[in-house]
Each structure stands twice: as structure tokens, then as C-alpha cells.
Structure 1
């Protein structure tokens, strides 16, 4: 079901939103910071709304009543027989395949209104509106959902965003909830004119990054499995939406190897112009360190790195086999960059670290 309401405040607030997603630890924060600087865009508060795309969110409730069961990617069974037996005896908790508006509202208070960050700071929808205002919006959502789930859901999202968007003078909003990429089909069902930016990063670095956090998979091999599932799910979702709706951006290309070309492609795909001030901010504030390429080699022993790299290679083969996109291998692209710098250094006298010549264009297939 794809339709757009005929004008009014709801449509003004929900005009051409941009949903940035990924696997988690894949560059959504970097992309959000960057896009927030553009004069035509604004980052939501909180920057990860979550209540739209995440499990038990409004997009899943709408999908349930219009399409039925919510597709879920299955985990790979463990190879070790003992671990496989334990998985059967103690299965992972399953996300429901059908979501109701009541589950959505319940999750507002248990997951999304106030979330404590690892630092102890409070995040969540409480940054956007008061408890009373959210309770009123949720009550209207529940009351109206059965008669028109599309209108009820869009009005609910608009009510959450209205206080902050009233101060933004018609800017388009950017949400960086990681689940956006793998929920692209559900998001476009609710927001037909939206764009989905899928941030991709070397899965070994993603898994290593998760292992050092208090949230997400704290084991690097489990982290690789989570990366695999999320990449497959994002591919499934991308195939279900019109071509050009999803823009894949490789973090390594954006911040290290093909900076200006990737930035230009991103802005073109989301239909916003680049201006000199914006490009200057990008040059001065988004550096190669944002990608932390090859961190997985630094965080683990040589023996562990062999196992990590072997499993990652198997996952990439699986992605290739089904035609799914995958990011460049960060260590390979860094090696190419070093060789390029050496060649350039042998041809010209020492000068600025970064060439002023145009960067090579990205290939059409952003693998």
C-alpha cells in the first residue's frame, strides 16, 4: 500500500525524509553528523528515533496489517556439535513476526522514551517531546489505527517530530537508526518519497567495534554473524523497493579512498546540492580516522585474526552467491592507497598530503 495524503501539516513534516541505516557500528553516526551540517537538512533528536524502523516499531505494525508476517533472516547454525545442541536447548529469543499497535506503545515506554547511554546520559524520545505529549500522540495512534493504519501511523510520527521541525523552517529530517537499512521495504510503505542511505563498513571492523562496547555482540565471531544477517536482511529489503530508493555508501570510500566522489554521489542521490561551505566542513571535520580501518587486526591475537579473516571470507562468498552488496575490504583499500601515494611521491616533489586533483569516479557497482 503506497499512497501520500493530500497536503496538510503531516505531509509537510514528513516530506522526503532521509533514513540512514546499516549493521550498527558501520558509519551511521558519521553520515548523520555530515548531513546535519547541510543547510537543507536536520538531524532528528534523538539522532536514532528507533520507534519507526526498529523491531516492535510503527513500521512493523503497519506492515503486519498490510502485508502479514515480518521477514526475518535466520542465523547460521553453529558448526560445533555441542554449541548446536545448546542452541536447540536454549534458543535465542525470537522477535515476533507480527506486531500490533499495543506492542508499539508498550515499547515506547520500555525502550524508546528514555534510554540510558553507556556514559549514563539519558537519550531517547524524551529529547523530542514531553511524556504528556507522547502519551496523547500514542492514544490517538491507538484510537485511529484500525480505521486507517496508514494515516494513523504517519500522524503519530509527525506528532513526535512536530516540536523540533517547527523550528527548522522546512528542512528535511535525517534519522540514523541502524535498522533503517534492513527495514527499507517497511519504511517506503509508510514514506513513499523517502531515501534510504545504507552505510557499509568492513564486517571485521564492525565486529571488533561491537566487541569493545557494552551493547551489541561482545564476541567478535558472534559479531560477524550479526553483520552477516544484517547485510542479508538489508539486501532483501533493497530488492523489495524501487530502484534508486536505497543508496549504498561505503564508509571506507567516503572518509578514506574516494572522498569527494562518494560525497557527490550521496548528495546527488538524496537530491540536495553541495556548496563550498559544506564541502569545506567535510574536508576539515570528517577524516580517515572515522573509519578506523583494520582495527580488528590490532584488537586480537594473530591466531584469532586468522579465524576472523577465514570466517569473513566465507561470509563474503555467501553474499556474492546471492548477489548481495558488500563493502571493500578496508585493509586492501589501504594497501592500494599506500601504493598510490608512493607512486605519486616518486613523480613529484613533496607537497600537501592530499592531492587537489579530482578523485577517480566510483564504479557503478559499489562493491
Structure 2
């Protein structure tokens, strides 16, 4: 029997996390849903749900998950059935959240479950408090391609390009921390460029990490896009097409020259550490139309520079609080939810 450890897909936004979600979802033993958007909110606001040893409080949490401002509707699950399963399940936050993911996996008769959300990369501490045995798969992509792709998304419209550059910088710092601190059987990193160029060896490596057998269906994620990618998410339209290298290095055409200069001025060290060569045009940042953005970047990027301090303070505050039991506990098997 294979592992049943939960699987979480992370990465900077526009790094290929949805493509990787679909590749893993194509495995006959694994189900990774569309972004659920309730895990981090539930963790942050956990005090508001009260003592989960009380069934009424578990019901309140369940109702927040299934009918609040989350993406629960994308999972195709019956909210009443999931609510009752949470109420009758183990009294921890991780257990309540895991019940939802497990119910989604049952839709596809899969024993392993997990989730995908880029924001988890900067929040691996809370994620691992909820799911201590989680296995993390992080996908890394050239920061300039991420910046170019982020600039085309609805949620970045009207924002300064500095936001996208800072997003990638923060994600790479979180990746470096995970590399240093997480065990080899808990964290695996894959490069977007290698994955799209030759999916099979990269997917085989992921399967070895997960303790699973490789399945050729994983290399054809577009077959599952209609099922596992909500149609309203137009920015994921390429997931409906075969895996391609077409977007590798497309920053050269998609970014203006001043944006390339800005990216390389702010991200150059990280890009070189990861093996992404710089364009080397040598343009000084104080010339050209991008100079005002260089000056603005410090304001946008400031909160990221304090991330390590804020994390340390959060850990210190957690130690001062009464011990919380948050971790996922398996519940007794139940009948399958209706498909």
C-alpha cells in the first residue's frame, strides 16, 4: 500500500502551479483540487471559531468553509454532507480542513489528497502545523517570465510592476528557507522549464519523492482541465492545451526593455543563484523610463524584507499562547459522498 501523506503544490503565482496540480491529479492515487482558499483564512481566524471540541463550534467552522467567501463550490461536493462529516470528525482545525480535501479525493476514488495554492509557499509554517506529515512540491520558474505572466492577470491590472517583481523575490526567499530547513522526504523542488521540456523524468522524480509509481497520464494534464480548473479562471486557459515550451523565455518579447532592466537589477542575484542567465545589456537603472519604478520598489518590497522578523515574532507569540491542538487526525472511514 502506498503513502497517504497529504500533498501540497506551491510556487510563485504564474510559475505553473495549476499545470502541476493537474499533472498530480492525473495520477490514479492522488486528487488535488482547484484552489480552495479556506485553509489560510481558517488558520488566521481560528480563535473566532472557538473550542473545536464543542460540536457546535465545529459546525460553525464547517458552515464557514462551505458557505462563506471561499471556493468550496468549485469542489463539486455536497455542503451538508461535508458539514456533518466535520461535526462528527476529530476536534482539530487540521482535521476539519483535511475532511474537505479527503471528500474531494473520494469523488475520484483516490486515497491521497492535498491542495494547491501559491500563497502556501510563504506560509509553510502554518501549513505544517496543520498537516505535520505533508509533502510539499514547489515549482520554480524564471522570475522574468513570472513577472511577464503576472502582468497579464486580472488581479495585477493597475498595479505597478514592482508588485510582481517583489512577489517572485519573496517566493524565492521562502523556497531557499524550505530547502535549508525541511527534510528531504517533505520538500521537493521542480523547475518549470525542465518540466515542460521533458515532463516524464521530472514527473518520475516527483513520484519517487511521493512514494508513488509514475503514470503516463500525468504528462497529459490538459485532459483534466475541464474537470479540475474552473472555467471562470480565464488566466488558466493554457492548461487546456498540451504541455509546451512556448512560454519559456518569452519575457524577452513580453516585457519592455526598462522592465527587463528593472527585473534584473532587483532579482539578478537570485536569478543567477538559480541558474537563470541575465540578458547582460548593462543598462543603468537611473536612465530610461523605468527609473521611477526603481525608486518605488523599496516601498513595495519593504514588507518582504521584514518577513523573517515577522515570522520569528509569530513563532514567539505562539509559544506564549496555550498549546493548541491543530494537527490533522484521520477520521473513521465513511461511505463515499455522492459524486
**Does residue 264 of the first structure (1) align with residue 204 of the second (2)?**
yes
Is the aligned partner of 1:211 residue 2:151? yes
Cα gap change, 1:253 to 1:240, in 2 (>3 Å): same
Structure 2 contact 65–72 (Cα < 8 Å) conserved? no
CA distance in 1, matches of 2:219, 2:255: 37
Matched, 1:180 2:137: no
Quick check: 296-305 or 105-114, which moved more?
A: 105-114
What SS is found at the alignment partner of 2:31?
strand
CA 1:165–1:42: 2 relative to 1, 3 Å: closer
CA RMSD, 1 decimal: 3.8
Cα distance in 1, alignment partners of residues 169 and 219 from structure 2 = 35
CA separation in 2, counterparts of 1:223 and 1:196?
A: 23
- Determine the structure 1 residue equivalent to 2:35: 48
Provide Cα deviations, 1:275-328, integer angstroms capped at 9, x if missing partner: 4x4366479932223xx12232212332332233222214547xx5xxxxx4x4
Where structure 2 has 5 or more consecutive residues not aligned to the other structure, the ranges are: 51-57, 223-240, 280-339
SS of the aligned residue for 2:155 comes to: coil
TM-score by length of 2: 0.61
Match of 2:170 in 1: 229
More displaced stretch, 25-34 vs 295-304 = 295-304
Q: Is the 8 A contact 1:293 1:330 kept in 2?
A: no
CA–CA separation in structure 2 for the residues paired with 1:134 and 1:259: 35
Deviations 1:20-42 (A, max 9, x none): 00111111111011111111112
Matched, 1:294 2:241: no
**Mapped partners of 1:41, 1:279: distance in 2:** 11
Q: Which of these residues, 100, 104, 110, is aligned with residue 160 of structure 1?
A: 100
Compare relative contact order (CA 8 Å, sep 6+) and give the higher one, 1 or 2.
Answer: 2
DSSP 3-state at the match of 1:215: helix
Please report how far the alpha carbon of residue 154 of structure 1 lies from its aligned counterpart in structure 2 after TM superposition. 2.9
Pick from 266, 276, 286 the counterpart of residue 311 of structure 1. Answer: 266
Counterpart secondary structure, 1:166: helix
CA distance in 2, matches of 1:314, 1:108: 46
Q: TM-score, normalised by structure 1?
A: 0.57
Distance 1:136 1:274, change over 3 A: closer
Q: How many residues are matched?
A: 250
Q: 2:74 aligns with which of 119, 122, 127?
A: 127
Question: Do 2:141 and 2:191's aligned partners in 1 also have CA atoms closer than 8 Å?
Answer: yes
Work out whether residues 197 and 249 of structure 1, in 8 Å CA contact, stay in contact via their aligned partners in 2: yes
What CA distance in whole angstroms lies between the structure 2 residues aligned with 1:112 and 1:228?
35
Residues 300/195 of structure 1: CA separation in 2 closer, same or farther (3 Å cut): same
